[in-house]
Chains A and B, each alone.
Chain A
Amino acid sequence: MRPFQFVRADDAATAVQTVTANPKAKFLAGGTNLVDLMKLGVERPDLLVDLTRLPFDSVDVEADGTVRIGTNVRNSDLAAHPAVRNGLPLLSQALLAGASGQLRNMATVGGNLLQRTRCVYFQDVTKPCNKRQPGSGCPARQGDHRNLAILGASEACIATHPSDMAVALAALDARVAVSGPDGDRETPLAELHALPGEHPEQETTLRHGELITGIAVPPLAYAERSAYRKVRDRASYAFAVASVAAALDVEDGVVRDVRLAFGAVAPKPWRAHAAEDALRGRPATAASFRAAAEAELAAAEPLRDNAFKVPLITNVVVRTLSDLAGETS
């Protein structure tokens, strides 16, 4: 790890100013990913601005049902919060499916959204990686890519985004509150993460110095009929091989509305719009669910060792939506 200066932020404006002024400064929240990557030499900030004493630590439900979550809310607190647990089951389930009890006690909302890929080449500074070192190449295409992307990847990069929480938030149309040198703004979560294209090093649409201060989850009338299903190689404490966040609104056996997002298959939490479009107005049957998943996965570009994710996601979509439809009826 390289040496760095450390300051504790007392207010958001100063934090933003401090990081904006130093191109090699970074915000530090729970540390579960940043400190890990600093130890690996992947991240080499020369200044860390500690955000954890900033007051973005509450979960508030507004009159219209919007749930506002401060960026410093720890993953464990968020999962246990009654508004999330009861009102947004898929979000609570996604949080609890992630990492371990210890890590959930450390990890924050903002940090979770901004965690970086688990691609083994990205994490090893002795190897090429277009994301870490633009233009150096991507060994994953020929090498170990069993757990890498089948959707949204590019010639330059096939990394996956590792978050569980973000997949649920993508399904919920969450918005991200950002504070920056030019003031505050809000952006749809769908626009927070960038696809790699020719520039996998640009992972988000945040500018340097911009700080995530919170998340707003708009009300979804049928959010209580939602679920997050994570498939992983170990029964617990493992990153997803594939995951599905789903919410389903069925009336008289017909899909009135649906939300679907996939995890561990793309460089960002993957909102399955094509599948959703294919489902609305269709009968809530396994056949429709399968056709919808196939519609989304028509764009999949699987590689030698990750082609199994196509049938896997398809099966999980069918099962998850069938279970939700069963609950609904």
Chain B
Amino acid sequence: MQLHVNGRLHELALDNRTTLLDALREHLGLTGSKKGCDHGQCGACTVLVDGRRINSCLALAVTLDGVEIRTIEGLSDDGALHPVQQAFLDRDGFQCGYCTPGQICSAVGMLDEFDQGWPSAVTTGGQPAALDAGEVRERMSGNLCRCGAYMNIVPAILDVADAAAGRSSA
């Protein structure tokens, strides 16, 4: 089968059982995507498939022929960090770093969802004009962090959203 990852096409002979996460980690050497629970319960394996964030541990690789997969390794452009990566550095948005690639991929997907006007469980009275901390917290709750970096992750993501919207945050 073929997997299209970070702009490169890979020919692979995989067991039907191989998940996208294991294909990335064990067959393509892309170990940035992490395995924290292997059951869609932690978010450490989050990657972007056709631009959407998913849990790669629950996606069978064999189902993903022909789609575009983007992992943490494919976010930075010619060595320049993605704004979300830079914001995580600036805000110390991680400690052990194991949930971090998933957090960052999730944030990239989430910001795009917000731009498309998607509501969240805390959205009331129509779409808010700008992401606020409450929206980010709810939308990022599929990424667990045991070190407890949420207090830094949320402002990091708000920095990126604000910069994209031309605002500066405190």
Contact = CB atoms under 8 A, between A and B. Distances in A.
Given A80-B117, A103-B40, A106-B58, 20 more contacts: A3-B15, A4-B17, A6-B16, A6-B60, A31-B59, A35-B59, A36-B58, A76-B118, A80-B119, A101-B109, A101-B140, A102-B43, A102-B106, A102-B109, A102-B142, A105-B54, A106-B55, A236-B141, A237-B142, A237-B144
A8 B63 CA distance: 8
Interface of B: 15-17, 19, 38-40, 43, 46, 52-55, 58-60, 62-63, 106, 109-110, 113, 116-121, 123, 137-144
21 contacts: A1-B17, A4-B16, A6-B63, A31-B60, A32-B58, A35-B60, A38-B17, A39-B38, A39-B39, A52-B63, A80-B116, A80-B117, A85-B119, A93-B121, A96-B120, A100-B143, A102-B54, A105-B109, A106-B59, A236-B137, A236-B138
Interface string A31-61: 1100110111000000010101000000000
Contacts of A5: 16
A50 B53 CA distance: 20
A235 B141 contact: yes
B54 A106 contact: yes
B16 A3 contact: yes
Contacts, number: 96
Contacts of A97: 121
Nearest to B142: A100
Nearest to A6: B16
A103 B119 contact: no
A68 B55 CA distance: 28
Contacts of B121: 93, 96-97, 236
A258 interface: no
A35 B53 contact: no
B125 to A, nearest CB: 11
A105 B53 contact: yes
Nearest to A2: B17
A326 to B, nearest CB: 15
A35 B58 contact: yes
A92 B39 CA distance: 25
A217 interface: no
Nearest to B138: A236
A172 interface: no
A97 B46 CA distance: 20
Contacts of A120: none
A99 B58 CA distance: 14
Contacts of A40: 39
B63 A28 contact: yes
Nearest to A79: B119
